[in-house]
Structure 1
Amino acid sequence: MRKREKIVVLTGAGISAESGINTFRDADGLWEGHDVMEVATPEGWRKNKELVLDFYNQRRRQLKTVSPNAGHLALKELEAQYDVVIVTQNVDNLHEQAGSTNIIHLHGELRKVRSTGDETLIYDWEEDCVLGDRCKKGYQLRPHIVWFGEAVPALEDAVDEIYGAHHILIVGTSMQVYPAAGLVGYAPRDANIYYIDPRPSINYELQQRSNLEVIAEPATTGVRKLVDRLLL
């Protein structure tokens, strides 16, 4: 029996897009027709809480209509032979639906809300969140999403996982949005790095790696091919 090597998977919007979830931001700076500054910043929240809550309510409802795709499901299979940690920039729950058991959400989760007065008060939330929904201390609840300009609390946990990785899988991300794009820089020098994306963008950290393999395919096909190799 082989020693259980560690795989850290970094996933972005590309893997969820194949399940029908729109990417976070289109080329024109809009997110599903909304200016991201209005729905994904603390300033937008202060300006129009109702608009922000409605935007994320719509996203949360959409989660009930989509399913994990072949890419998500293939990643789950790796757990049969490897210690697998998924570090995702996505706020959906498709990795959870696929059965993956160790997931770090860098940018928060649509199916959770948190207190605006005490960030440690986080609640699972399946339905709409509206003005007047409050935490046990009486503060308005907000989406449990990391907005532009806010700290990324889970970043340190992600870095700790990367330090011990034997393999890094990068799936469906442009590798241009920091700090997530810089995570690969913390990987051991001898770690194998695989980058799966139909339009791969090789950033500075990846340029420094001699053991990089690029698979220029969508997640649904590229992940399947790589997982089959890793499970041999």
Structure 2
Amino acid sequence: MKLEFIPLYEVFEKYKGGCPICKIIKDEEKAYCEHLFEDEVLKDPEMYVKIRETNFCHYHLELLNNSYDKLGLAIALKANISYKLQRITDKRKSLKKKRGKETKNKCLICDYLSERDKYQMHILMDILHADKEFVEKHSEGLSKLCFHHLNMLMESAKDVTPQIEKIIKINETAIEKNITDLEWFITKFDYRFQDEPWYDSKDSIERALKLLRGGYYD
């Protein structure tokens, strides 16, 4: 087995809470954020410029504030805010001058995770090509792919192989069941059905949310 296959194999074997690829991206997000504000990273001129000039999204600002090293965060925020203040000062000085359209930088962490997302999907496609029994062995995990990763899978596939076809079918079955369970959940609020059992509908909203947004926020 190739070394790069191991993390995905492990998450498919151990994680039962939702989309396995979302889980591995969430773990990579945690590791990247923890690493981002270490001394050697902040002292790296190239990384310092990236941190200074990025536009951290709202979600990652909250995540960094609630979960990670405050000293490193303070250093990063000082650099980031100082840079933005300088940009405002430059704009004020050139308000009457003709200037080109400003390029807006994306969130550094979001960009990193987007690249890791593509990489993990590439690895999954390689695994499906190399391991013909992967779908059979991990059908439960593959049936929990969120819409984002299911669409990525279909877009990454060069053709609809039997493996890809099976993954699509097991996800269609799981999604249809989720819809049926949501319908029963709604029906249970009709007083005529209040004494009927809930069946599998109690977690139907949770499953629907994971399907729509992925498992990033478990």
TM-score by length of 1: 0.28
Task: Give the helix-richer structure, 1 or 2.
Answer: 2
Structure number with higher relative contact order (C-alpha < 8 Å, ≥ 6 residues apart): 2
Task: Give the strand-richer structure, 1 or 2.
Answer: 1
